[in-house]
Structure 1
Amino acid sequence: MPKRILNVVTNVGHYDDPGHPTGLWLSELTHAWQVFEDAGFEQTLVSPAGGEVPLEPRALRFPNYDKTAKAWHTDAAKMAMLEHTLSADQFDAGDFDAIYFTGGHAVMYDFPGSEGLQRITREIYERGGIVSSVCHGYCGLLDTKLSDGSYLIAGKKMTGFAWAEEVLARVDKLVPYNAEERAKERGALYEKAKLPFVSYTVVDGNLVTGQNPGSAKATAEKVAALL
């Protein structure tokens, strides 16, 4: 039986201010998808509410719009997958060996409050499956608790988009909260690279996290190696 991966994407298309669009950072999905595909894994897309997945406009420009992102964006069948995703409530965690949270600032809004995603994540993690995220994807782990009531990330080494990177990206005034600080408040042993925007990944048991868009491929490779 091939290993099965659940790739999590967002349904949100803008910040609190509707004049500032955001969405899925496409390469964070496509880089991982390629790694998992090459490994022979079965892949499924899921979103908190189901339905359409907006794309982050900045991710569709150089240098973020690379070969894998362009190939997906120009493939009608692949784009259709992002127009008709199923919701988290429609999936059984037992059907998957790993969950991978993609990013983009949009996920800060709909990942944390999704009880369906929390249920799937908790069940996968507690039976030894792989829980992973890249960039802002770790927002999907911030409020997830284990069966004993403790936060999944408490006492775990992990990473995700750093506050310094928010400032450099000039969105620190737009984001709804400081994700790095919130992870630390949950007890996470947060780490980051010495320089912003360079690839950086952390593995702590069956938790695998990547810091930023440039970390997606390396994060997926570590997930694949564990599987």
Structure 2
Amino acid sequence: MLKIRCLLLVVFLWMSCTVSCQESNTKNNKILFVVSNQHTYGTTTMNTANHFAEIVEAYHVFVNSGYKVDFVSPEGGAVPIGYIKTSDSIQKKYIYDATFMNLLKKTFKPEDIEASNYKAVYYSGGGAAMFGVPENEMIQNISTHIYQNNGIISAICHGTAGIVNLKMKDGTYLYQGKQVNGYPDIFENKEKAYYKTFPFSIEETINKNGGNFMYSKNGWDKHYIIDGRLITGQDPTASASVALQVVKMLKKNNL
């Protein structure tokens, strides 16, 4: 009888350890997507949104590589999506995926996020990314915490706006002395009304703060740049590439 009890105790402890380890792995095997709640360009009535392809193409790479993705926005809750192309197979897959779409309807608020649970941050773009996210200090703190704990910061297109204010503990910009990619001014139409609502130029701000903004003059050619644990892409065509490089770096560093 004593042997049976001892055996049952061993089995119970083994199962408890297994469950605990699985929960721990799931908890720490996460990537945080940063999106915006902004519906318009500035205070105008011109509609803007988060770029759907830049979200789903990266999301597709991450979840199929075994990572869990959470979404955070400055205000939490639903976020606008746009630039949708249903003829694209991946976009079509997710636009009709109720579980996925529910994630965009119920994004976390910054105060809901425990930074230590994440291995990487991914800033998605679209015109909405220029508003709300760059100046949000709580999101800045989350990202810098992840980075300073050997995590990865990644961004795509106008999503690079989200990193312009990221600073290290010593007050230097996270990207100081690093090569950075994003949507360049050369492809913006500065005479258009939409651009005049932008609070800053991504390219000019990165350079002013000690970064080295670089880009492909061809454009729309899957261009991205890796500089340490900072991975940035130029436009929607680089979304999957940026995500693949994040996964590659995480696995290489056993993160």
Letter in 2 for 1:21: N
How far does residue 35 in structure 1 lie from its aligned partner after superposition? Answer: 0.6
Is 1:105 matched with 2:127? yes
Q: Which residue of 2 aligns with 1:92?
A: 114
Q: How far is 1:75 from its partner?
A: 2.0
Percent sequence identity over aligned pairs: 32
- Greater shift in the superposed pair: 13-22 or 119-128: 13-22
SS in 2 for 1:125: helix
Q: Give, in whole Å, the separation in 2 of the partners of 1:31 and 1:72.
A: 10
Rounded Cα–Cα distance in structure 2 between residues aligned with 1:109 and 1:155: 25
Aligned match for 1:14, one of 37, 40, 43: 40
TM-score (norm 1): 0.92
Partner Cα separation in structure 2 for residue 168 and residue 212 of structure 1: 18
Deviation, 1:92, is: 1.2
> When the two structures are superposed, what TM-score results if normalisation uses the length of structure 2?
0.83
Q: Which residue of 2 aligns with 1:48?
A: 74
Please tell me whether the aligned partners of residues 35 and 217 of structure 1 are also in contact (alpha carbons under 8 angstroms): yes
Moved more, 167-176 or 33-42: 167-176
Q: Aligned partner of 2:149: which letter?
A: R
**Correspondence for 1:175:** 198
Q: 1-side partners of 2:184 and 2:134: how far apart?
A: 17
**Greater length-normalized contact order (CA 8 Å, ≥ 6 residues apart):** 1
Q: Secondary structure at the match of 1:155?
A: coil
Contact 2:190 2:196 in 1 (8 A): no
| Residue type at the aligned position of 1:81 | L
- Taking the TM superposition and a 5 Å limit, the aligned residue runs for 1:199-214 are 199-214=222-237
**Count of residues in correspondence between the two structures:** 223
2:50 pairs, out of 14, 17, 24, with 24
8 Å CA contact 1:164–1:196 kept in 2: the answer is no
Q: Which runs of 5+ in 2 are unaligned?
A: 1-24, 251-255
Larger Rg: 2
Match of 2:16 in 1: none
Q: Distance in 1 between matches of 2:191 and 2:203?
A: 15
Deviations, residues 53-107 of structure 1 (Å, cap 9, x unaligned): 0112xx1247xx6221222212222222111111112111100011111011111
Question: What is the alpha-carbon distance in structure 2 between the residues aligned to residue 168 and residue 34 of structure 1?
Answer: 33
1:187 lines up with 2:213 in the alignment: no
Give the 3 Å change call, closer, same or farther, for CA 17–66 of structure 1 in structure 2.
farther
Q: CA RMSD in A?
A: 1.8
